[in-house]
Structure 1
Amino acid sequence: MAHPLYVAFIWHQHQPLYKSREAVADAMGQYRMPWARLHGVKDYLDLVLVLEEYPQLHQTVNLVPSLILQLEDYAQGKGIDPYLALTLTPEEQLGHQQKQTIIKHFFDAHHRTLIDPHPRYAQLYEQKQEKGIRWCLENWSNQDYGDLLAWHNLAWIDPIFREKDPAIQAWFDQGKGFTLGDRKKIIAKHRQIISQIIPQHRKMQESGQLEITTTPYTHPILPLLADTNSGRVAIPQIELPQRRYQWPQDIPRHLRKAKEIYTDRFGIEPRGLWSSEQSVSPAILPYIAQAKFKWMCSDEAVLGWSLKHFFHRDETGNVYEPELIYRPYRIETLYGDISIVFRDHRLSDLIGFTYGGMDVRHAVTDLIGHLDAISRSLVEREPGNETTLQNPWLVTIALDGENCWEFYQEDGLPFLRELYKRLSQDEDIKLVTVGEFLQEFPATETIAADQLHSGSWVDGSFSTWIGDPVKNKAWDLLTEARKTLAKHPEATEETNPNAWEALFAAQGSDWFWWFGEGHSSNDDALFDELFREHLRGVYRALNEAIPIQLYEPLEDHAQKADHAPEGFIQPVIDGYGDEQDWHNAGRIEVGGAMGTMHKASAVQRLYYGLNHLKFYLRFDFKMGVEPGKDTPNELHLLWYYPGAKVYTSPAPLIDLPDQAPLNYYFHHHVGINLLTQSVWLQQAWNNHEWHPKNSRVEVAFNQCLELAIPWADLHREPDAWLHLVAIFADHGKFRSYLPENRFIELQIP
C-alpha cells in the first residue's frame, strides 16, 4: 500500500508566569510584563485561523496551562500590566519617569517587521534612535506620546485581524492623532481577540483539524524536579548545585493541575503531553503513564542518545538515517505504554530562526524540498523496486509557535498561506495530528524505559537550566524553599494554596533559562526579581522568616562584555550594524583590551553569529576610520576545521609572524578589499596551493563592516567546527589580526 509522507506540526505556545505576588494592588497592575497579552493578539488565534482556511490540513497545538490562566485574566479585564496601565493613562497626566519608561520600552519589538512598516511609529522610533531619549523628553508633545502608546498596541495585532475587522483597519489607516478614547478601544479589541483563543482551539479540536496537548502546570523541567543529579547523565562533569533537589512527588501535582485545566476548557482529557523543554528521563515515565497520557514529544538529540547513535546529515542538512528518526517509538512502563515522537531539529529550527529572513516562495520551496528529499531517501530504503512509500513514516516538526513570527513579514501570514496552499495541492505529503497518526499506525519500535536518555531539546542535556553558578544558586534557593514547605505537613494544596502556587511558579523553567551565561534579554533583572518574589511567597504563606538572599539579585545584570552567541541571527547586511539584528550574536571587545595589537586597533569590537544558511561577522571601527588611511586596505578571513581530513595551506600573506594562530595551515580563505568592497574566496588544494572558488559572500562597509558567508560556499557537513582568524593587510602584507592569540569558534548548525 502506498503512503504519503505524514508530517506532524506541533506548535508550542508558552509564556512565563508574569503574574506578581507582591504587586496585586499596584496601580501598574499585577502582571510585571505584557508579553502574554501582546502575543495573545499576535500569535495564538491567528495561527489556527490561517489553518482553518485549509480544512484538509491537520496540526497539533500545545497550550501551557499557566499561559491559559494569564490569557483568561486579560480576556476578563482582570489582567493589568505596566504597559497597559500606561496606555490607558491620559497623556497630560504622564510624569517624567513614566515618559522615560514609554520612550525606552514602547519600541520593544523587532523594528523591521513591527515598527518600520508603519510610518508614524517608524518616525518616532527614528527620533529616539537618532536623537536620543533626552531629546524626546524635551521635544515630544502630548500627541507624540499618545501616538506612541497607540502604535505599540496596534503593531502587535496580527494582520489577519485587519482583514477581518474594519475597525482595526481603520486605526491603521488613521495612522496618527490617537486619543485616549482610541487607545481604550484598542485595548478592548485586545481583550476581544484574546477571549476567542480557547473557544477557537476547542472548536477546531472538536472538528478533528486540531489536537490540543498540554504541559506540566507551570512549565517545570520534570527530570530536574525528580532529581537534579539527572544533569550528569549527558554531562558527567557538570557542576551541580550544592543542595540536591529531589522531589519527584511534585510531578503528579503538575500533571494533575494541567489535566484539570485542560478538561475544564476542552471538555475531554488530553492524550498528548509536551514535557517542558522536550525534557525526558526514565524517572518521569511512571508519573506520565499513571496520569494516562498516551504520547509525548522530544528532540532528535534525545533519540540519538537513547539509541547510542549520532544522526549524521549531508551538507544540505538531510539525515542519512531517516528510518530511525521519522517514526514513533513505544516505551513500556508498569502503568501502561507511552508513545514518543522525536522532532527533526533542523527543520524545526529553519522555521523558527531562518525562513523569516528569506523570500516567502524561496522559504516554502526550501521546506517542501527537504520533505521531498526525506521521502526519496525513505523510498530508497524500501524493499524491492518500489517508487512510493510502502510504510507510514512520520516527520515531526515541533517548535515555539509564537516568538519566531516577529521576524517574518506580516507576522508570517504570507509564509503560512503559501506553505498551506502548496501542501493542500501535494498528494505526496499529508499533514496529521500526532494522535490520529498513532491511532492508525501505532508505534512498533520500542525503547526500553531505562534506555531513554535524560535530556532536553538543547544538545540532549539540561545545561541550559542547571550547571552555571547563577543557575545553581537559584536551584539552591528553590531547594531550601521546598524543604521549608515540607516541614509544614499541615500546608496542603487545599489548606494553603498560596504556598503551593508560589512554589509551582518558582519551579518554572523560564527563570533558569535567563540566569547566568547563555541567554540574556533586556528584562533579565525583572526575571530575577519575579523568581525571588515567587520564593518569598512560599515563606510568606507559611509565616516563615524570609531569607535575606531572596531580597538580593542573583547576579549583576549589567551587560556582559565578551560572550558567545546566544541564539541564531539573520542581520541585514547594509553596514549599519542594527543592534536588534545582532542582539544574539557573540561579541569580542577589542578597543581598550589587553594586548599589544589591541591597544592600537582601529576595531573596537567584533560580533559573530550564524543561522542555518550563513554565518555573520561585524567589525565596529572607531568613529571616522577610513580604510586604506586609518586602517589597512584588506581584511583576510582564514579558517580551518579541527580534525577534518582536508587540504590545508599557509595564509597567503607576507611578513606573517611565526606564531599561533597565524602560523596554522588553513582550508578556506576569504579576502575583502575594504576600499572597493570586492570579495574573493579560495580553498586550499594539493601542495599548499590556493584555488579560487565561486562565492556568494555579502559585504557592506558604512558605519561598520558587515559580512555574511553562506555555509553552501564552504561545503562542510553540519556539526563541524570551524576556527576563524581575521587578518588585516596592506596589499597582501600582514599588519594585524583579531582576536589576539585565539580563534573565533563556531559550529555549523
Structure 2
Amino acid sequence: MSDKKLLLNLYWHMHQPDYRDTVTGDYVLPWTYLHALKDYSDMAFHLEQNRSARVTFNFVPILVEQLEDYARQAETQQWHDPLLRLLAKPDLDHISDAECELIVESCFKAHHEKMLSPFPHYQRLLHLYELVAPVMQSGQFHYLTGQYKADLLVWYHLAWTGEGLRRKNKTIQALMQKGVFFTLEDRQSLLAVIGETLQGILPRYKALLARGQIEVSTTPYHHPILPLLIDLKSAHDAMPDAPLPQSPAYADGYTRAVAHVQSAQHYHQAVFAQPATGMWPAEGGVSHAALSLLAEQGVQWAATGQAVLANSLKKVGMPPTDAHQYLYQPYRVTNGQQDIVCFFRDDQLSDKIGFEYSKQYASEAVRDFIQTLENIYEHSGDAVPVVSVILDGENAWEYYPYNGYYFLQELYQALTHHEFIQMTTFSDILQKHEQGALPMPALLQDVCAGSWVYGTFSTWIGEPAKNRAWDLLCEAKHQFDQHIHTLTAAQQAKCQQQLAVCEGSDWFWWFGDYNSAQSVQSFDQLYRRNLTNLYQLLGLSPPPVLLQPISQGGGNAENAGTMRRGQA
C-alpha cells in the first residue's frame, strides 16, 4: 500500500443567532441553551471518548457570547430565559396566563419521532394536551394543573439532554426513571445539571483545543452575509435574473463587513487565547471581494460550498466535468497583494450526514461514508486528495436515533483506524503546503459570489419577503447614519451592537413560504423587534410597517428548515 493519505477535513459549524432582546436582556427563544445541553455537549463528548479523532469546529462569536452569558446565569442563578425561570419557580399553580401559555406552546417543540416518542411519560403529556387543546384555545391555560406543567417542563428538558449526559449523569438517569410527579427538588436538581453543563461547554472545547485534537475557527461576529453587505448586486453573479430589494445598496456595507470580521477576531482571541487562523464566512457566503477582505484582515483560510467552486470555474472559462478532477484540493484566491486559501465542501458527503444517514443503521451509514472516501482515493491518481466535509454541527442529530450517538461513535472509530484516511484540520494542510509536503494550491482567478446552499444567495435574497426584509434593514441603516452622531458614546455603542444583530443572516433565512408558519412567525417577530429596538435606541419612533409581519410561511421544509442541502 502506498504511503499516500486521503486528508479528511471534518468541519462542524456551530451557530445560533442572538435570541436576546438586547433592551430587556431576556431571551426570546431557548435554542442556544437547548442545543448546548444536547449537541454542543455531545459533540465534545464524542471527541473526549476517541482521542485519536481530529476535526475542526467553527464557533460563531454571537453563539459563544450567549454560551458565556448562560454560564454566568448558572453561576448567579439569575436566569434570563423564561423557561429556565419557570423550571425554578416554586409554585406553578399560580403563574400567569402568559407563563402557562409559554409552557404549553414551547415544551412540545422537539422532533417527535426521535425526541418525544421514545419516552412514554412524555407521550402521555402530549396526549393529555391534545385532549384539552380546545379548552386551552379559549385561553383557559390553568385548566392544566401545576403538576402537569412541572412534569412537562422536566420532560422537555430531559428530551433535550445529550446522550453523553444520559449515559453519565446520575441525576438525569434518576429523573428519567421516575418519570412522573416531579417535585420542586427534582426540578432544582435538573436545573443544577443544566447549569453545570452550560458552564462546562467552553472549557471542554478549550481542553480539546489545548491538546491539539481540534482546530477552532470563527465567523464574522453576528453572522452576516459578507458579499451582500458589500454589494447587494453580487446576488446576480449566480442568479442573474433574481429580483433584488428596492434599495440599491446597503450603505457603507464594506465598513460594516470589516467591523464584523475584526470584532470576531478580537473576541475569538479573548475566548480561546489564540487567534483564529481560518474563518467560515456566514453560510459559506463568498465573493472575490469578500475573500479579499478576509485576506486583508489576516485570515489565512476560508471555506464554502462545492457549487461556488463549480460556478467559479465556469466563470473563468474552465467548466468542471468530474468532481474528482477539481473538487478535492484547496485553491488560492488573491487580490494581488494578499492571498487566502479556500476549501470547498463535498456536497454529497456533507448532505448525507445532514439528511440521509439518520434514516439508516449506523453501521450501514458509516460503511457508505468510508466507501465513498475510498472511491475518491482510488480516483485521485498521484495527487493527495483533500476532502472537506462541512455541515451544521448542531441541528442534524435530533433526526438520528440516540442523538447520533452510534453513528458518531462508529464514524470516528472507523476513520481513526483506517489505513489511508487521515483526519486532519485546515491549518495542518496549510502547514503541509508551506513545508512542501503538498504542492501549493492552484490559483482561482475569480470567484462567483454564492453560498454553500445551491451556490447562490437565494436563501437570503431574491424573493419578495426576503427583499422586503432587506429594504427594512436598509432604511434602518439610513436612519442610523443620520442620527448616530447625535448620541453619547455609550448610546452609540448600544446602537452599534443592535445594528450588528439586525445584520445577521438568520432573519432572511427564515422568510419564505417554504418554511413552517410557526418558525417564520418566531423569527419574523424577533427581527422586527430588533429593528424596533434599533429605532428606539436612536431616539426615533419605529415606523408603523414594523408592526406588520414580513412573511407568513406555511411550508414544510426538510428537517424543519434548520438546514439546507448544498444542491437543490
Superposed pair shares fold, TM > 0.5: yes
> 1:418: which partner in 2?
410
Per-residue Cα deviation, 1:196-242 (whole angstroms, up to 9, x for no partner)? 11111111112111000000011000000001111111111111111
Instruction: Name the structure 1 match of 2:88.
Output: 88
Q: C-alpha separation between the residues in 2 aligned to 1:176 and 1:366?
A: 41
Other-structure match for 2:260: 254
Alignment match, 1:405: 397
8 Å contact from structure 2 (residues 16, 32) kept in 1: yes
Match of 1:307 in 2: 313
Classify 1:499/1:95 alpha carbon distance in 2 versus 1 (closer, same or farther; 3 Å).
closer
1:465 aligns with 2:471: no
**Tell me, what secondary structure is at the counterpart of 2:10?**
strand
Q: In structure 2, what is the equivalent of residue 702 of structure 1?
A: none
Q: Report what 1:710 is aligned to.
A: none
2 CA distance for matches of 1:288 and 1:331?
11
Question: Does 2:539 correspond to 1:546?
Answer: no
Partner of 1:631: none
Equivalent residue for 1:323, pick from 302, 315, 325: 325
Q: For the residues of structure 1 that align with 2:385 and 2:245, how far apart are their CA atoms?
A: 42
Q: Deviation string for 1:129-179 (max 9, x for gaps)?
A: 466453896874432221111111111111211222222222222222211
Gaps of 5+ in 1: 25-29, 313-319, 383-389, 569-582, 586-610, 613-717, 720-748
What residue in structure 2 maps to residue 212 of structure 1? 216
Deviates more, 1:536-545 or 1:6-15: 536-545
SS at structure 1 position matched to 2:379: helix
Q: What one-letter code is carried by the residue in structure 2 that aligns with 1:276?
A: A
**What aligned pairs does 1:595-634 form with structure 2 within 5 A after superposition?**
none
Asked if the contact 2:12–2:390 (Cα under 8 Å) also holds between the matched residues in 1, the reply is yes
**In 2, are the aligned partners of 1:278 and 1:297 still within 8 Å (CA)?**
yes
- Higher-Rg member (1/2): 1
- Write out per-residue CA displacement over residues 557-609 of structure 1, whole angstroms, 9 at most, x where no aligned residue: 3x64xx6x6336xxxxxxxxxxxxxx679xxxxxxxxxxxxxxxxxxxxxxxx
* SS of residue matched to 1:61: strand
Q: Distance in 2 between matches of 1:533 and 1:210?
A: 37
Q: Does residue 364 of structure 2 align to residue 362 of structure 1?
A: yes
C-alpha deviation, 1:109, in angstroms:
0.3
Distance apart, 1:97 and its partner CA: 4.6
Of 349, 370, 373, the residue aligned with 1:347 is 349
Tell whether the 8 Å contact from 1:150 to 1:178 is kept in structure 2 after alignment.
yes
For 1:494 and 1:375, locate their aligned partners in 2 and report how far apart those are by CA, in whole Å.
57
**Aligned 8 A contact 1:272 1:295 in 2:** yes
Unmatched runs of 5 consecutive residues or more in structure 2: none
Say which of 266, 272, 280 aligns to 2:278.
Answer: 272
**Larger relative contact order (C-alpha < 8 A, sep ≥ 6)?**
2
Q: Which amino acid aligns with 2:542?
A: I
Higher mean C-alpha deviation, range 93-102 or range 114-123: 93-102
Aligned runs of 1:63-78 on 2, under 5 Å?
63-77=59-73
- C-alpha displacement at 1:538, in angstroms? 2.4
> Does the 8 Å CA contact 1:15/1:67 hold for their aligned counterparts?
yes
Cα deviations by residue, 1:62-115 (Å, 9 ceiling, x for unpaired): 001000111111111155223223323322113445334322321110112211
CA offset at residue 285 of structure 1? 2.4
Write out per-residue CA displacement over residues 401-454 of structure 1, whole angstroms, 9 at most, x where no aligned residue.
0010001111111111111112222112111111112211356333445x1110
Does 1:173 pair with 2:177?
Answer: yes
Q: Is the 8 A contact 1:296 1:338 kept in 2?
A: yes
| Higher strand proportion | 1
For 1:91, what is the secondary structure of its paired residue?
coil
Q: Secondary structure at the match of 1:487?
A: helix
Whichever residue aligns with residue 293 of structure 1, its letter is V
For residues 460 and 369 of structure 2, what CA distance do their matches in structure 1 show? 31
Q: Which residue of 2 aligns with 1:660?
A: none
Q: Return closer, same or farther for 1:400/1:492 CA change in 2, 3 Å cut-off.
A: farther
Which of 232, 235, 239 is matched with 1:235 structurally?
Answer: 239
Q: What does 1:110-189 correspond to in 2, within 5 Å?
A: 110-129=111-130, 132=133, 134=135, 140-189=144-193
1:333 correspondence with 2:355 = no
Summarize the alignment of residues 632-643 of structure 1 with structure 2, pairs less than 5 Å apart: none
Specify whether residues 492 and 215 from structure 1 end up closer, same or farther in structure 2 by C-alpha distance, changes over 3 A only. Answer: farther
Task: Give 1:335 deviation, angstroms.
Answer: 4.3
Alpha carbons of structure 1 residues 272 and 527: separation in structure 2 relative to 1, 3 Å:
same
| Richer in helix (by share) | 2
Q: CA RMSD in A?
A: 2.4
**1:138–1:253 CA distance, 2 compared to 1 (3 A):** closer
Amino acid at match of 2:492: N
- How does the TM-score come out when normalised to structure 2? 0.91
Normalising by structure 1, what TM-score?
A: 0.70
The whole-number CA distance in structure 1 between the counterparts of 2:368 and 2:451 is: 27
SS state of the match for residue 396, structure 2?
A: helix
Distance 2:228 2:355 in 1: 28
Contact persistence 1:75–1:194 (CA under 8 A): yes
Residue 476 of structure 2 corresponds to residue 487 of structure 1:
no
Aligned to 1:4: 5
**Contact kept in structure 1, 2:330 and 2:341, CA below 8 Å:** yes
2:303 corresponds to 1:297: yes
Supply the distance in 1 between the matched residues of 2:541 and 2:151 (Cα, whole angstroms). 47
Which residue number corresponds to residue 453 of structure 1?
Answer: 448
Contact 1:103 1:133 (8 Å CA) reproduced: no
Q: Which residue of 2 aligns with 1:376?
A: 378
Tell me if structure 1 keeps the 8 A contact 2:284–2:305: yes
Q: Closer, same or farther in 2 for the Cα pair 1:218/1:492, shift >3 Å?
A: farther
Contact 2:97-2:142 at 8 Å conserved across structures: no
Cα pair distance change 1:492/1:406, threshold 3 Å:
farther
Distance 1:37 1:223, change over 3 A: same
Letter in 1 for 2:453: V
**1:11–1:398 Cα contact (<8 Å) kept:** yes
Aligned AA (1:68): V
Give the secondary-structure state (helix, strand or coil) at the position aligned to 2:180: coil
What amino acid is the match of 1:12?
A: H
Structure 1 residues 96 and 539 mapped into 2: Cα distance closer, same or farther (>3 Å)? closer
1:104–1:133 contact (8 Å) kept in structure 2:
no
Match of 1:263 in 2: 269
Quote the Cα distance in structure 2 between the aligned partners of 1:566 and 1:114.
Answer: 19
Structure-1 separation of matches of 2:561 and 2:480? 38
The residue correspondences of 1:33-52 to structure 2 (distance < 5 A) are: 33-52=29-48
Cα-to-partner distance string for 1:331-384 (whole Å, 9 max, x where unaligned): 123442100100001111110111112111111111111111111222xxx2xx
Q: Is the 8 A contact 1:274 1:296 kept in 2?
A: yes
Q: Distance in 2 between matches of 1:329 and 1:273?
A: 15
d(CA) in 2 for partners of 1:41, 1:473:
35
CA distance in 2, matches of 1:307, 1:108: 43
Matched, 1:438 2:442: no
Deviation at 1:187, TM superposition (A): 2.0
